[in-house]
C-alpha cells in the first residue's frame, strides 16, 4: 500500500509542479518580468518537489536524507539536464560569457554547500554567503535589458554582464513565450503550490519509510531515489530546450535550479532546524556535486559547448556516483 501511495504522491507532485511552472510564467509575463527573471521563477517552481521533500526530511530529523535530496538532485540535474540532453541533441553550442557567468556562480554555491555539509561553517553563515552570491544575480536579472548596460559597475562589467544575460534571454524568450496571465492563473499558482507541497511531504515520508523497511541507507533514499524522482520536471524541460538548440537557456536552467536547491532546500531549513552531526555519506554527495559542477563547466569552456563526448563523461560520472552510494 505504501508503494502505491508513494507513486501516487510522486505523480501528483510532479504534475502539480508542471502546472505551477506554466502558470507562474504567465503571471510573470503579466507583471512585465524580464525573460531571465521568468527563467528563475520557472526553476524555483520546478524545484518545488525536491525543496519540500528536503525540508520535510530535515524537520523530521533526517538530515542525511534532506542533504541527499537537495544535493543528490543537483548531481542528477547535471547528468540529466546537461549530459542526457546533450546526448539527445548531439551538440549544444554555448556562449563563453554565459558559461563563465553561470559556471562561476554554480561553483561558488557548490563550495558553500560543501562547507555547510562538512560543518566547516554553520548553516546560518552558509545561508548569508549564498544570498550574497545569488541575490545580486537575481536583482540584475530582474532589470529590463535596456537598463542593464547603463548600470554603474566597475570597468566594463556592466556591458559584459548585459551581453551575457542578453544571450540567455534571446533563447529563453523563444523557449518560454508565455501568454499574459490573469487572476485565474494566480489562483492556479496557489492551488498548484499547495498541491506540490502536500504531495511532496507524503512522498518523502512514504519514501523514507519504504527505504528503511527495505534496509536502504538514508543517503541512498535521498541522494538517488528521491533526488531522481523529484528532478524529473527539470529534466524534461532541459531535454526540450536541448532539442531546440537553446544551449544558454539549458545551462541557465540547470545551474539556477541547483542554486535554488542549495539556498532554499538546504541552507534555509538547516539554518532554522539544524543538520545534525556531519556524516561521510552526506560529505561525499556534497563533494561529488562540487566536482561534477566544475567538470561540466570545464568541458563546456573547452569546447564552447557540450557534445556527445562530454555529455557521456557527465553521465558516466553520475553512474559512478550512484554505484558508490549503492555499494557503500
Can you give the CATH number for the domain in which 98 is found?
1.20.1420.30
**Contact 67/218 with Cβ under 8 angstroms?**
no
Main-chain dihedrals φ then ψ at residue 307, nearest 5 degrees: -125, -175
**pLDDT mean values, one per 10 residues, the chain (328 residues):** 76 70 64 58 70 82 84 90 83 81 92 95 95 87 66 66 67 56 70 73 73 75 78 69 64 85 92 83 93 94 87 94 88
The predicted structure's pLDDT at residue 83: 87
Cα distance between residue 203 and residue 49, in whole Å: 9
Residue whose C-alpha is closest to residue 42's, from 175, 170, 226: 175
Segments forming the whole domain that contains residue 233: 2-327
Q: Is 268 helix (H, G, I), strand (E, B) or coil?
A: helix
Q: Is 92 helix (H, G, I), strand (E, B) or coil?
A: strand
Burial class for 167, CB neighbours closer than 10 Å (0-12, 13-18, 19+): buried
Cα distance between residue 144 and residue 126, in whole Å: 30
HEC profile for 197-261? HHHHHHHHHHHHHHHHHCCCCHHHHHHHHHHHHHCHHHHHHHHHHHHCCCHHHHHHHHHHHHHHH
CA 150 to chain centre: 31
With 0.85 as the threshold, say if the pTM is over it.
Answer: no
Its sign, for the CA torsion 188, 194, 198, 200, is positive
**Structural domain count of the chain:** 1
Cα distance between residue 48 and residue 326, in whole Å: 26
The predicted structure's pLDDT at residue 326: 87
Cα distance between residue 312 and residue 86, in whole Å: 8
**Contact 127/271 with Cβ under 8 angstroms?**
yes
The predicted structure's pLDDT at residue 147: 64
Site of grid cell 533563447: 171
Amino acid at each position: 500500500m505504501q508503494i502505491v501511495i508513494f507513486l501516487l504522491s510522486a505523480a501528483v507532485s510532479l504534475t502539480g509542479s508542471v502546472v505551477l511552472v506554466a502558470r507562474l510564467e504567465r503571471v510573470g509575463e503579466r507583471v512585465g518580468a524580464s525573460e531571465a527573471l521568468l527563467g528563475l521563477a520557472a526553476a524555483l517552481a520546478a524545484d518545488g518537489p525536491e525543496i519540500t521533500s528536503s525540508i520535510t526530511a530535515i524537520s523530521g530529523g533526517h538530515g542525511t536524507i534532506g542533504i541527499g535530496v537537495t544535493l543528490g538532485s543537483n548531481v542528477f540535474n547535471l547528468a540529466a539536464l546537461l549530459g542526457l540532453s546533450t546526448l539527445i541533441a548531439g551538440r549544444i553550442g554555448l556562449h563563453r560569457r554565459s558559461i563563465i557567468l553561470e559556471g562561476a556562480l554554480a561553483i561558488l554555491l557548490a563550495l558553500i554547500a560543501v562547507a555547510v555539509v562538512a560543518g566547516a561553517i554553520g548553516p546560518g553563515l552558509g545561508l548569508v554567503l549564498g544570498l550574497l552570491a545569488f541575490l545580486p544575480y537575481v536583482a540584475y536579472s530582474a532589470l529590463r535589458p535596456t537598463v542593464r548596460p547603463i548600470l554603474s559597475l566597475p570597468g566594463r562589467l556592466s556591458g559584459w554582464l548585459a551581453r551575457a544575460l542578453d544571450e540567455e534571454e534571446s533563447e529563453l524568450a523563444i523557449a518560454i513565450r508565455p501568454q499574459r496571465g490573469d487572476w485565474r492563473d494566480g489562483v492556479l499558482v496557489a492551488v498548484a503550490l499547495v498541491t506540490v507541497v502536500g504531495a511532496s511531504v507524503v512522498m518523502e515520508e512514504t519514501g523514507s519509510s519504504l527505504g528503511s523497511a527495505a534496509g536502504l541507507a538514508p543517503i541512498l533514499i535521498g541522494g538517488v531515489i528521491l533526488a531522481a524522482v523529484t528532478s524529473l520536471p527539470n529534466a524534461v524541460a532541459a531535454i526540450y530546450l536541448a532539442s531546440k538548440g537553446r544551449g544558454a537557456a539549458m545551462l541557465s536552467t540547470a545551474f539556477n535550479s541547483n542554486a535554488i536547491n542549495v539556498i532554499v532546500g538546504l541552507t534555509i531549513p538547516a539554518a532554522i532546524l539544524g543538520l545534525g552531526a556531519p556524516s561521510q555519506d552526506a560529505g561525499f554527495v556534497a563533494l561529488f556535486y562540487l566536482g561534477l559542477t566544475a567538470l561540466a563547466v570545464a568541458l563546456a569552456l573547452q569546447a564552447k559547448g557540450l557534445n556527445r563526448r562530454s555529455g557521456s563523461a557527465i553521465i558516466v560520472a553520475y553512474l559512478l556516483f550512484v554505484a558508490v552510494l549503492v555499494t557503500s
